[in-house]
Structure 1
Amino acid sequence: MEMSEEITYENDGTFSNQQRRTGGNLFRLVFLSFGLLCVLQASLNISLRFTLYKTGDTEDILKNLTEERDELKRKLAVFPKYSRQGWEHFSGSYYYISSSKKSWQDSRSDCQQRDPDLLIINSKEEQEFIRRFQKPIWIGLTDRDTEGVWKWVDGSPLTTRFWTSGEPNSYQGRNEDCALTNYHNYEDSWNDAVCDNENFWVCEKNMSH
């Protein structure tokens, strides 16, 4: 027999104390699991380093291990911050999905105030992850500096691309210098658009940076 947990509410529509405790326990469990994975990774790295570099420079090995330890501490500190603020995690990055619409520049400014920048799509898997939100979304891609030369907001050139057939095209001579991804039933869903148009947007915090 399937068992389900009944969600109860207080008179004012908020979650009961029991539900809040359940949510808190779930968050602690996820955080502890993440921490345990980091500790296991660090332990494995230490074992491998000393196994592979028994005859190497001990000082260099310890320096590298210290740097890896500091990086793990940074990730552990950031994890609860973004998780509690409603960001979604996927493949080493955190994503903030807007609930309102803004121009491309205002969308980017919002992201920068939150610490990261507009979304940069680097793989087919990341493109599929974004498409599941089922709405047109500004991405951090523009050719405003040089017409026809598309670059990401971090200055990197466009290599992996998912343009819809016939895009980008500056439709009917309009100055379409900013890119967005639409929700379609096919993978290639990008098109260029007028930067002053208002759309939803996604901020990305890459944890490797």
Structure 2
Amino acid sequence: MSLRLTIYSSVNLLISDCNTTQQSNENHRKEADCKRAQGKILEENCIALTRDVQILKNKNDKLVDEIRKTKEERDILKFRLDELRGCVSSQRCPLGWRQINSKCYFLSTESKRWNDGRKQCQSQGADLVVIDNEQEQNAIYRMDGSQYLFFWIGLRRKDGAFKWVDGSELKTTFWQNGQPDNGGLNSKEDCVEMGDENQPLASWNDVPCEQMRRWLCEKDLCFSL
């Protein structure tokens, strides 16, 4: 039974008792006692109701505070995530990276082996570039504007077949003339470089993974939560 219904029932019972007493005995003292008792019950019920209202208010205040803290934690996590990705408010790619369409690219200035270059990309939340189409191939060709630029891309021979670092199959290719050749019988050329001394759509070459090359990292644009 709700508190208001309890109050209503208690008051009605007292009124009925008081009226009965008044009609049967015409006793003013008992009538006064009934009214005092009625007032006391009303007062007690009002106090209980006020207490319940305060309890509900405290619970509501606590929920509002928890929501505020959750929003603050969300904002902190978003800020830290953007920091990790190198994002700043004025741009969506990390500092030092270049935006092309919906991707961010980073061309190293130093040279490393294929595996080491890939690790450098992964340490920045990226990977060696996966070239999906002719448009992207043209966009990253001679990326730093210099001639005779060679850099690792995310393509490597595994189990006799070339695959991208994201596990996707190789479909569209931009090999140099006569490539891939695996370096002949006495060589093992499992990693792929992109060189700009040829035409942009014929610039891939397979070379030994232990050779030293610059590397090109790729990752998605920074996002907002």
Q: What range describes the TM-score normalised by the shorter chain of this pair?
A: 0.5 to 0.7
Structure 2 Cα separation of the partners of residues 198 and 111 of structure 1: 16
| Pick aligned residue for 2:115 from 105, 122, 132 | 105
**Matching residue of 1:183:** 196
1:1-209 → structure 2 map (5 Å cutoff): 77=82, 79-80=87-88, 83-133=93-143, 134=147, 135-143=149-157, 145-147=158-160, 149-173=161-185, 174-186=187-199, 187-207=201-221
When residues 170 and 107 of structure 1 are mapped into structure 2, their CA distance, relative to the original with a 3 A threshold, is same
How many Å apart are 1:132 and its aligned residue? Answer: 2.1
Q: Secondary structure at the match of 2:181?
A: coil
Shift >6 Å, 4+ stretches:
none
Aligned residue pairs: how many? Answer: 134
Aligned residues of 1:92 and 1:208 also touching (Cα < 8 A): no
When residues 102 and 82 of structure 1 are mapped into structure 2, their CA distance, relative to the original with a 3 A threshold, is farther
Unaligned runs of 5+ in 2: 1-77
How many Å apart are 1:208 and its aligned residue? Answer: 9.4
What letter is aligned with 1:182? Answer: G
When residues 203 and 128 of structure 1 are mapped into structure 2, their CA distance, relative to the original with a 3 A threshold, is same
Structure-1-length-normalised TM-score = 0.59
How many Å apart are 1:91 and its aligned residue? Answer: 1.3
**Matching residue of 1:18:** none
Aligned residues of 2:128 and 2:153 also touching (Cα < 8 A): yes
When residues 82 and 207 of structure 1 are mapped into structure 2, their CA distance, relative to the original with a 3 A threshold, is closer
Aligned residues of 2:93 and 2:222 also touching (Cα < 8 A): no
**Matching residue of 1:20:** none
Structure 1 Cα separation of the partners of residues 179 and 108 of structure 2: 25
How many Å apart are 1:124 and its aligned residue? Answer: 1.1
What letter is aligned with 1:124? Answer: E
How many Å apart are 1:82 and its aligned residue? Answer: 6.0
Q: Secondary structure at the match of 1:158?
A: coil
How many Å apart are 1:160 and its aligned residue? Answer: 1.2
Q: Quick check: which has more Rg, 1 or 2?
A: 2
**Superposed CA offset, 1:143-179 (max 9, x none):** 1x312x1100010000111011111101122110000
% of aligned pairs identical? 36
**Superposed CA offset, 1:170-196 (max 9, x none):** 112211000011003412110100000
What letter is aligned with 1:159? Answer: K
CA RMSD of aligned residues (A): 2.4
Aligned residues of 1:138 and 1:200 also touching (Cα < 8 A): yes
When residues 205 and 102 of structure 1 are mapped into structure 2, their CA distance, relative to the original with a 3 A threshold, is same
| Bigger Cα displacement from structure 2, 79-88 vs 118-127 | 79-88
